[in-house]
Amino acid sequence: MGSLQDPPGPVPNRSPGGRNADFQCPRGPVPCAPVSAPTDPHSTIPDRLANAGGLKKGVARELSRDTGLHEADIYGVGSFYHLLARPEKRVRVCGGLSCQLAGSREILSACQAAGLPTEEISCLAACDRAPAVLRDRRTLPMVTIQDAERSGGKVEDLCSNGSESVWCGTIGPQEADAETLCLNLSAEPDWSGSAFNAASTMEPSALFDLIEESGLQGRGGAGFPAHIKWRAVADQAEQERYIVLNADEGEPGTFKDREILLRRPDLVLEGLAIAAAATGSSEIYLYLRGEFEVPGGVLAEAIQATTEAGRFPGITFHMHAGQGAYICGEETAMLEALEGKRGMPRLKPPFPVEIGLWNKPTLIHNVETIACIPGIVLQGGTWFKDLGRTEAGSKLYCVSGHVQNPGTYELPLGVSLDELVEAAGGYVGTLKAFSPGGASSGFLPASERGRALDFKGLGAIGSMLGSAGVVVLNDTINMRWAAEEQLRFFEEESCGQCAPCRIGTHYLHAAVKGGEEKSLGLTHVADVAWQMNEGSICGLGQAAALPLTSALKYFPEDFA
């Protein structure tokens, strides 16, 4: 493994236009091709609200006149998304667990003391660059109390010295190695299109067989075999099909997709183009979380250069910026958001491969999954499979919290926590607990530090690899507090559609912090958790109780 170090200066230019020039952080909104369906006036509402400055007075009425939609429908969309509901200039301090460990509450107080309009926001996917702050839609990493004091109470002057352009974090290995790394984040982008050209010579069935041979599983959380999705979309009778990239990276503790978008946009676009050609699609929709202004700018430049060069003929890329809702990382909620509606998950079945975007067959992959495709095409399925230890492939692990060098590390799938943290420079203090896959995976004790961080091994003990957002906690942390913070996140981000989730997240959060359910204490946690798991239609409600149930199981002394 190579040496690990922070980037020495500005983020290098990762667009096709010039690799050696200093990266100039794009200013203003990310240029996006419009996401619209000719017969659906809903589809333009989020973008039009964003362009109007959010849900300001009179905006809903004006859009109602323009679109023919009821004013209540437009208000319903605008009020659902955090970035539209409160559009005025403000500072939003990340309240994620990793940022709190790095002092975000002190930053919040400093911003308020400086006269900045300030509020807390959910995880900004900058856990390795904590504490992070959102200024309008620009994420500012590693903000200090001095930054707040120097702002003079003006939002636009917070970290206005250009430091916000540097969002690339620590990666490992630091040296490029195309033989042992699939994503190879340290390498320069390759805009030759060699993987797309190679895939174009293959029959779709042969490509599907290759992906099956590789053992590639979805890297967004579910671990579903990728080849099954590809075959399902290709086999649909409906000829109009779509490809959707899920870049709504919001799971607390996770930031790997951000690094891929910043460093290797070539892999993302080429993987999407291969998927489109193989499944008979010509339209690709890229859904990025609204706080990804900098990664979105890098990707937009790459799309423009790729399109102008004609690298993927017959394929059109459409970029869409989300408006601030964790739930839109769920694939069907994301489809609702792309269609301009409130991002509420759909009942499944039918699955998106059958009835997806605008009721057409849709292949959805997250950033890491699709970025693996070019390497598999060029190097072979067996090569990719052999990169793993307990399961197929290499894996991007995000690690933050009490470690020396928080960052993104590409390692064989199935390494242990100790091996991951060794790559990150070691522990800070004595290990007490860790989340192996973001907030949704709950907490595990130090005794599990040698367990393989893979899909099966973690699933066997009631946890999950999820997005591989590993948060490390040392013995200074009270696990009741940690569980409370994760439950606060889930309560705030529940879309409210399912009663077990809507009520359950509130009940559990109140119970653990000693709120209105204090008289009942933690008596009914197991029953409420069961109701949430069985009665919620998406993964948020099904997993939201895990931080509390796991903390109670492994750390009962912290609840005494």
pLDDT tens, the chain, 560 aa long: 333 333 333 333 333 333 323 333 333 334 444 444 545 778 889 988 988 888 888 899 999 999 899 999 999 999 999 999 876 778 999 999 999 999 999 999 999 999 999 999 999 999 999 999 999 888 999 999 999 999 999 999 998 765 555 678 999 999 989 999 999 999 999 999 999 999 999 999 999 999 999 999 999 888 899 999 999 999 999 999 999 999 999 999 999 999 999 999 999 999 999 999 999 999 999 999 999 999 999 999 999 999 999 999 999 999 999 999 999 999 999 999 999 999 999 999 999 999 999 999 999 999 999 999 999 999 999 999 999 999 999 999 999 999 999 999 999 999 999 999 999 999 999 999 999 999 999 999 999 999 999 999 999 999 999 999 999 999 999 999 999 999 999 999 999 999 999 999 999 999 998 754 454 578 889 999 999 999 999 999 999 999 999 999 999 999 98
CATH number of 171-384: 3.40.50.11540
Which residues contact residue 356 at a Cβ distance below 8 angstroms, ignoring those fewer than 6 apart?
A: 242, 244, 335, 362, 364
- Report pLDDT for 26: 36
Contact between residue 62 and residue 49 where contact means Cβ atoms under 8 Å apart = no
Whether this prediction's pTM lies above 0.75 is answered by: yes
- Report pLDDT for 5: 33
**CA pair distance 59, 207, nearest whole angstrom:** 49
Spacing of C-alpha 353 from chain mean position = 21
**CA pair distance 452, 174, nearest whole angstrom:** 23
Torsion of CA 170, 171, 174, 179, to 10 degrees: 180
Provide the token pair at 428. Answer: 């800070």
Spacing of C-alpha 185 from chain mean position = 17
User: Between β-strands 444-445 and 283-288, what pairing exists: parallel, antiparallel or unpaired?
Assistant: unpaired
**CA pair distance 35, 25, nearest whole angstrom:** 24
Sorted by where each begins, the domain ranges of the chain are: 91-162, 171-384, 393-474, 479-559
Provide the token pair at 426. Answer: 């070691």
Pick one of 3.30.1280.10, 3.40.30.10, 3.40.80.10, 1.20.1070.10 as the CATH number of 91-162. 3.40.30.10
For domain 479-559, give the fold: de novo design (two linked rop proteins) (1.20.1440)
Total count of residues recorded for the chain = 560
3-state secondary structure at position 403: strand
Contact between residue 296 and residue 30 where contact means Cβ atoms under 8 Å apart = yes
Contact between residue 374 and residue 270 where contact means Cβ atoms under 8 Å apart = yes
Give the amino acid at 21: A
**CA pair distance 180, 413, nearest whole angstrom:** 12
Q: Is the peptide bond before 406 cis (omega within 30 degrees of 0)?
A: no
**CA pair distance 550, 545, nearest whole angstrom:** 8
User: Mapped to the 3 state alphabet, what secondary structure does 63-111 carry?
Assistant: HHHHHCCCHHHHHHHHHHCHHHHCCCCCEEEECCHHHHHCCHHHHHHHH
Thinking of the domain 393-474, which architecture would CATH place it in? Roll (3.10)
Residue closest to 425 by CA, chosen among 50, 84, 236, 174: 174
